[in-house]
Amino acid sequence: MTVRVRFAPSPTGMFHVGGARSALQNWIYAKQQGGVFVLRIEDTDVARNKPEWTEGILSALDWIGISRGSYEGPYFQSANAGEHRAAAARLYESGRAYYCDCTREDVQARTGSQYQGYDGYHRDLGLGPGPGHALRFRTPDEGATVVVDLIRGEPTFENKLIEDFVIARGDGSPVFLLANVVDDMTMGITHVIRAEEHLPNTPKQQLLWEALGVKPPIWAHVPVVVNEKRQKLSKRRDKVALEAYRDEGYLAGAMRNYLMLLGWAPSGDREIVPWSVIEDEFRLEEVNLSSAFFDEKKLRAFNGEYIRALPVAEFIDACQPWLAGTGTIAPPPWQPEEFDADAFAAVAPLAQTRIAVLSEIVPNVDFLFLASPLMDEAAWTKTMKDGSADLLDAAIAAFDALESWDAESLKSTLEAVGADRGLKLGKTQAPVRVAVTGRTIGLPLFESLEVLGRERTLTRMRAARVRLV
């Protein structure tokens, strides 16, 4: 038997990081088993679907390494509508489903509670199809439905506790439960790997598989992804869009690595590992049962490690979209003609050790490419205290007299200026840094001044001195 897994997102918004994790888990499992990964777009929610969301799914999958052409599909659920309706008809004709015209209010009136499920009122009344007649599945009265789950063992659900659930609406359109089952059958899906939030629907879906005469797939319900308050990640509340992390400058490798650690860990006391190790070691049966905490701070730290591990040339290439402002990324504050590739290459190794996401490259190097620095006024107020004017005067004179404009000479010169005033280097260099870069933190100062050059450095220091008058 060829293993066939599927990833079936809905094109109703940005691509959720939890969905990305499910896609990766399905992808790896299929590769390990010599099987097939199927992409199905569940696009039947016409009111919320947009073509750009579908393209967003494909592009996000490309980014995390599930490239177009390497999987089967994408298929579209809407193209299978005829099969959905045919399956509903077969279930009705075989007696496994019946029609019901009860409204929600009718059910509540009979049960006396809005919390109790449907009571099977129309099971034996013989109501036929018609406008407003929903089709309900006839759940077995006795026995239990056992779900074979690679992660959770064999969850067992008593059939008497499963209400006769709707499989087609009053207008004849099948609901998600039935459409999902029929699609999986049509595509020959053998394993369904998805988040545990779908587990309550699984016995219903398994009953549908059995009623349609097809062996159910093997299930694997991975832990739900939660935020720091242990709440399920929400698009309304949390930062969950994979595209947002991509556009902020997270590396695909770091994101893949981190997502795979949500509920699972490689062997040994390690977390940052080559993708080949994850592909080799990942086992569905080793996935934890408890909820997986999506820790953005930890992801950020991961990304910083991945950035620092890049060869410098690759780091320079990776920064280009932010330096050029291409695509959906915001443009930098300088004009294209002001950018100096050689100057950036000179400071790139310094920047590489200090940023955690690629978008941070712009505020770290913008002082190199602007006629004057973007001044952080809070930094100016905090730094330019009594004595700053005198210190800048002395530093300007000392720098202007330097024969060699290099980082070591600049450092020793400024150290001497500070020593004459009883100041350590940290206190001495703060006004110089703000005058030249506009900020209190950034790349190593003296290496930055070396690249900026004598003339531009002294011009900025003199401008700051004038402002202090």
- pLDDT (tens place) for every residue of the chain, 469 residues total: 899 999 999 988 889 999 999 999 999 999 999 999 999 999 887 777 778 889 999 999 999 999 999 999 999 999 999 999 999 999 999 999 999 998 888 877 776 555 567 877 889 888 999 999 999 999 999 999 999 999 999 999 999 999 999 999 999 999 999 999 999 999 999 999 999 999 999 999 999 999 999 999 999 999 999 999 899 988 888 899 999 999 999 999 999 999 999 999 999 889 999 999 999 999 999 999 999 999 999 999 999 999 999 999 999 999 999 999 987 788 999 999 999 999 999 999 999 999 999 999 999 999 999 999 999 999 999 999 989 999 999 999 999 999 999 999 999 999 999 999 999 999 999 999 999 999 999 999 999 999 999 999 999 999 999 999 8
Query: Is-contact 373 437, C-beta < 8 A?
Result: yes
Range(s) of the domain holding residue 412: 377-467
Contact 202, 147 (CB under 8 A): yes
Contact (CB, 8 A) for 3 and 19:
no
* Backbone phi, psi, residue 416, to 5°: -65, -40
Which of 47, 44, 36 is closest to 9 using CA atoms? 44
Amino acid at 347: V
CA angle, residues 39, 291, 239, in degrees to nearest 5: 65
Cα–Cα distance for residue pair 156/72, rounded to 1 Å = 33
Whole-model pTM: value is 0.91
- pLDDT tens digits along 203-230: 999 999 999 999 999 999 999 999 998 9
Instruction: Please indicate, yes or no, if residue 339 is contained in any of the structural domains.
Output: no
**Quick one: pLDDT at residue 443?**
97
How big is the CA angle at 99 (ends 94 and 105), to the nearest 5 degrees? 150
Q: Is residue 166 part of a domain?
A: no
Residues 75, 42: Cα–Cα separation, whole Å: 9
Of 50, 160, 235, 239, which residue is the catalytic one? 235
Structural domain includes residue 459: yes
In a domain, 453, yes or no: yes
In a domain, 457, yes or no: yes
CB of 233 closer than 8 Å to CB of 223: no
Q: What is the 3-state composition of the chain as percent helix, strand, coil, each rounded to the nearest 5?
A: 50, 10, 40
How far apart (Å, rounded) are the C-alpha atoms in residues 374 and 370? 8
Q: Strands 4-7, 36-41: parallel, antiparallel or unpaired by DSSP?
A: parallel
- CATH number, position 388: 1.10.10.350
CB of 264 closer than 8 Å to CB of 287 = yes
Domains in the chain, number: 1
HEC secondary structure over 245-276: HHHHCCCHHHHHHHHHCCCCCCCCCCCCCCHH
Identity at 469, one-letter amino acid code: V
- The rounded distance, in Å, linking the Cα atoms of 410 and 394 is 13
Nearest to 64 by CA among 294, 254, 321, 278: 254
pLDDT digit string, tens, across residues 6-19: 999 998 888 999 99
- Both tokens of 290, joined, read 């408890």
Active site residue 239: no
Q: Is residue 463 part of a domain?
A: yes
Sequential DSSP letters for 110-178: HHS-SSS----TTTTT-----TT-EEEE---SSSEEE--BTTTB--EEEGGGS---EEE-TTSPBPHHH
Residue 81 CA to residue 179 CA, distance in Å, equals 8
Burial class (CB within 10 angstroms; exposed 0-12, middle 13-18, buried 19+) of 130? exposed
Contact by Cβ (8 Å): 435, 461? yes
382 occurs within a structural domain:
yes
List Cα–Cα distances, 131 to 53, 123, 164, in angstroms: 33, 18, 20
Whose tokens are 């996935």? That residue is 287
Average pLDDT, the chain: 94
Label residue 300 exposed, middle or buried (CB < 10 Å: 0-12, 13-18, 19+).
Answer: middle
Residue 461 lies in a domain: yes
- Locate 370 and state its tokens: 């602007």
For 444, phi then psi, to 5°, come to -50, 130
